[in-house]
């Protein structure tokens, strides 16, 4: 059942690097991260890999396997022909720190730019009430494990560093959508999503949805509805008229623009 896997791994740092060829013993049921760990333990003790849970729950071990953004811990070796060489490279959209570890600070900066949840006071008995059907929309988005593969694959920033300041990326459109659909939130972030976060730059090619390890329908369930909400606010003549004569759509009742 075991065999010798041919691995090609990018080694280097911000000053440059190269693909290194390795052969490592692997066995049945293993994933790419197992092979890299064995490489680390037996041949390359200083190989830099970022990982934590090894269960697809923390989103740390993002990299590109044969050019495709994936989690190292959820990519099974049985998906490949044993004769095939597997190539592992760091995420391309983010600057390399060392080997497979990248500087994902872009995402932490974008997280800081997003105004947080702002609930009204609790009910009189000190509790809050929401219907299951209403929380489920946001729950899909909160499955996000922040692996940043959607950010990595997004062509708006993948080879265009200059777009990064004006574009928050799919992970944060998910967050805008989550808060916008939160049954209790009191902020209206539509203008912010369109302006500062650059929602308009997304042209819904669905690459983010394809690489999401959690299977979140980022484009269909978050980005497109968010785009529609923004358009409603800006261009729908009825909404425009309503806002002129003081009638607001009920969806945004009690929300204040931030």
Partner 1 sequence: MSTTSDRHPMTGNEMSGAAEGGTERHQYDVVVVGAGGAGLRAAIAAHEAGARTAVVCKSLLGKAHTVMAEGGIAAAMGNRWPEDSWEVHFRDTMRGGKMLNHWRMAQLHAQEAPERVMELEDWGALFDRTDDGLISQRDFGGHKYARLAHVGDRTGLEMIRTLQQRTVALGIDVFMECTVTDVFKQDGVVSGALAYWRETGRFVLFDTPTVVLATGGIGKSFKVTSNSWEYTGDGHALAMRTGASLINMEFVQFHPTGMVWPPSVKGLLVTESVRGDGGILKNSEGERFMFDYIPEFFRAETADTVEEADAWYEDKKNNRRPPELLPRDEVARAINSEIKAGRGTPHGGIYLDIASRRTPEFIRKRLPSMYHQFKELADVDITREPMEIGPTCHYVMGGVEVDPDTQESAVTGLYAVGECSGGMHGSNRLGGNSLGDLLVFGKRAGESASAYAAGLGATRPQVDEDDVRAARASALAPFEVEGGENPYAIQSDLQQSMNDLVGIIRTGQELQESLDAIEAFKVRAASMKVEGHRQYNPGWHLALDLRNMLLVSESVARAALAREESRGGHTRDDFPGPDPTWGTKNLVVRLDAAGTGVELQEQPLPAMPDELKKYFESK
Q: Which residues of this chain interact with partner 1, rule CB under 8 A?
A: 13-14, 27-31, 34, 40-42, 45-60, 74, 76, 97-99, 101, 103-105, 108-109, 111-112, 116-117, 119, 122, 126-132, 135, 138-139, 142-146, 179, 182, 215
The smaller minimum CB distance to partner 1, of residues 128 and 160, is found at 128
Go through the chain and tell me how many residues it has: 258
Give the count of beta carbons closer than 10 Å to the beta carbon of residue 107. 15
- DSSP 8-state assignment for residue 239: H
Minimum CB separation of residue 92 from partner 1 in Å reads 17
CA dihedral 240, 243, 246, 249 (to 10 degrees): 100
The smaller minimum CB distance to partner 1, of residues 44 and 231, is found at 44
DSSP bridge pairs for 22: 7
Minimum CB separation of residue 30 from partner 1 in Å reads 4
The smaller minimum CB distance to partner 1, of residues 9 and 239, is found at 9
Minimum CB separation of residue 191 from partner 1 in Å reads 20
The smaller minimum CB distance to partner 1, of residues 60 and 219, is found at 60
The smaller minimum CB distance to partner 1, of residues 128 and 234, is found at 128
Minimum CB separation of residue 203 from partner 1 in Å reads 28
DSSP letter string over 159-226?
T-GGGGGG---HHHHHHHHHHHT-SS--EE-HHHHHTTT-GGG-----HHHHH-TT---IIIIIIHHH
Minimum CB separation of residue 242 from partner 1 in Å reads 29
DSSP bridge pairs for 86: 7
Sequence-distant (≥ 6) Cβ neighbours of residue 37 within 8 angstroms? 49
The smaller minimum CB distance to partner 1, of residues 58 and 201, is found at 58
Contact between 38 and 55 (Cβ < 8 Å):
no
């Amino acid at each position: 059942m075991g065999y010798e896997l041919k691995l090609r791994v990018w080694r280097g740092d911000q000053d440059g690097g190269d693909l290194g060829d390795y052969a490592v013993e692997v066995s049945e049921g293993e994933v790419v991260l197992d092979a890299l760990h064995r490489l680390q333990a037996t041949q390359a003790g200083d190989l830099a890999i970022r990982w934590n849970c090894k269960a697809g729950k923390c989103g740390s071990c993002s990299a590109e396997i044969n050019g495709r953004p994936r989690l190292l811990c959820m990519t099974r070796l049985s998906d490949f022909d044993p004769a095939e060489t597997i190539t592992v490279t760091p995420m391309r959209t983010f600057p390399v720190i060392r080997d497979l570890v990248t500087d994902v600070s872009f995402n932490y900066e974008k997280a800081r730019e997003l105004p947080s949840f702002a609930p009204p006071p609790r009910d009189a008995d000190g509790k809050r009430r929401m219907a299951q059907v209403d929380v489920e929309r946001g729950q899909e988005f909160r499955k996000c494990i922040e692996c940043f593969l959607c950010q990595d694959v997004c062509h708006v920033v993948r080879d265009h560093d200059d777009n990064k300041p004006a574009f928050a990326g799919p992970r944060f459109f998910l967050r805008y959508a989550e808060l916008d659909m939160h049954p209790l939130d009191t902020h209206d972030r539509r203008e912010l999503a369109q302006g500062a976060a650059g929602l308009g730059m997304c042209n819904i090619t669905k690459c983010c949805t394809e690489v999401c390890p959690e299977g979140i329908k980022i484009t269909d369930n978050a980005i497109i509805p968010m785009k529609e909400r923004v358009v409603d606010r800006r261009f729908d003549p009825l909404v425009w008229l309503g806002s002129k004569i003081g009638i607001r759509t009920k969806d945004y009742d009690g929300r204040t623009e931030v």
